Amino acid sequence: MGKKGDLSNFERGMVVGARRAGLSISQSAQLLGFSRTISRVYKEWCAKGKTSSMRQSCGRKCLVDARGQRRMGRLIQADRRATLTEITTRYNRVMQQSICEATTRTTLRQMGYNSRRPHRVPLISTTNRKKRLQFARAHQNWTVEDWKNVAWSDESRFLLRHSNGRVRIWRKQNENMDPSCLVSTVQAGSGGVIVWGMFSLHTLGPLVSIGHRLNATAYLSIVSDHVHPFMTTMYPSSDGYFQQDNAPCHKARIISNWFLEHDNEFTTTMAPTVTRSQPNRASLGCGGTGASCPGCASHKSPSTARCYPINMGQHF
């Protein structure tokens, strides 16, 4: 069975050598293992004295050369979210040879780019980056044994209906975590449930469903009813650390005073949290920024009882 594709220069030289040695076409085919083009190769050598193939110069030339690929790569780096039409239009503005969208798609694939959805990462502000760096430096000398004594806690919202907005970007296979290939997300949305929970290395803590706005008074109930029993049970030697973020209700005066009263039982640490979106004041509370909110109207001091869209209830 003959080989597929054109013969290499070495194979063409073997054809000429076999024919010059006096072998017939059938004998040369049996010796070399292929039968095609033997006669043509030998005739070309006799007429022109060449054994190289010109097939590599045949066919339509590529419209996007190395310079064009570099230009297209710069367009991708400048705008990862550009559509195929926008990339083609911007490319044709500065290049003499115009191309179509199909050529753009083929070229991008040859360069290793594919249209993919960006990875979602929490939105971190500049202030929060500084706080996170301070927290990391303050705990950089902690050992594994130190971290074993930490009980982690947080409240989180789980959406029942995700946003159907789809954003696609152009990236290579190893660029999935490149900053220009990411899309930031915030803890917001409608149609979801909110829960508060805590855990440690030793065991899982309570998971509390939240059904109304979480202000300092409601968070105080969670701390006294769930955090205190968990910490005193898991860390009877008073060597435990209760970890919480810097949400406004966590920093309220009544919460700080409660932790000071129980500082002989466990230590409280506060880690910077990710950036949260502004809640809708009409339905989710005002965050303690105004007295027009129904949840804040009954608060004597907005600075110590800020209104947030989280609610407390029974265990799941």
pLDDT, tens only, 49-58: 777 665 555 5
Establish if 2 belongs to a structural domain: no
Is the residue at 291 inside a domain? no
Q: How far apart are CA 241 and CA 200, in angstroms?
A: 10
Q: Is the pLDDT of residue 235 over 60?
A: yes
Task: Please give the residue that has the higher pLDDT: either 31 or 71.
Answer: 71
CB atoms within 10 A of CB 149: 18
Condensed to tens digits (0 to 9), the pLDDT of residues 113-132 reads: 998 888 888 888 888 889 88
Looking at the domain assignment, is residue 129 inside a domain? no
Of all residues in the chain, what percent carry a pLDDT higher than 70? 76
Is 195 inside any structural domain? yes
> Could you tell me if residue 175 is inside a domain?
no
Measured CA to CA in angstroms, residue 56 lies from 16, 37, 160 at distances of 21, 17, 58
**Domain identity same for 149 and 254:** yes
Same domain, 144 and 279: yes
Which residues face 301 on adjacent strands? none
Predicted pLDDT at 316: 32
Same domain, 280 and 145: yes
Which segment, 40-49, 55-64, 189-198, 231-240, is predicted with the most confidence on average? Answer: 231-240
pTM above 0.85, yes or no: no
53 & 22 share domain: yes
Q: Which pLDDT belongs to residue 255? A: 92
CA angle 124, 125, 131 (to 5 degrees): 90
Same-domain pairing of 22 and 152: no
Tell me the CATH number at 195: 3.30.420.10
The three-state secondary structure class of 51 is coil
Q: Give me the pLDDT at residue 271, please.
A: 79
88: number of Cβ within 10 Å? 22
Give the least confident one: 12-21, 126-135, 241-250.
Answer: 12-21
Max CA-CA distance within the chain?
111
**Is residue 265 over pLDDT 50?**
yes
Residue corresponding to tokens 């339905």: 283
Same domain, 102 and 205: no
93 and 28 housed in the same domain: no
The confidence score (pLDDT) of residue 25 equals 82
User: Residue 303 above 50 pLDDT?
Assistant: no
H helices present in the chain, as ranges: 9-20, 25-32, 38-48, 66-78, 84-94, 101-110, 126-138, 144-147, 216-222, 228-234, 253-261, 281-284
**Claim to verify: residue 41 and residue 71 sit in the same structural domain:** no
Same domain, 140 and 258: yes
Structurally, how many domains does the chain consist of? 3
- Contact at 8 Å (CB) between 121 and 182? yes
Name the residue range of residue 48's domain. Answer: 9-57
Give pLDDT tens digits for 136-194: 999 999 999 999 999 999 988 776 655 555 678 888 888 888 888 887 766 555 567 78
Dist. CA 109–CA 105, nearest whole Å? 6
What is the dihedral angle through the alpha carbons of 226, 227, 230, 233, rounded to the nearest 10 degrees? -120
* Order of strands, sheet of 204-210, starting from the edge strand that comes earlier in the sequence: 204-210, 192-199, 150-159, 241-245, 267-271
**Does the pLDDT value for residue 230 go beyond 50?**
yes
User: Do 71 and 31 share a structural domain?
Assistant: no
Does 203 lie in the same domain as 224?
A: yes
Distance CA 81, CA 157 (A): 28
Residues 22 and 140 in one domain: no
Q: Average pLDDT of the chain?
A: 78
Predicted pLDDT at 297: 40
pLDDT higher than 80, residue 301: no
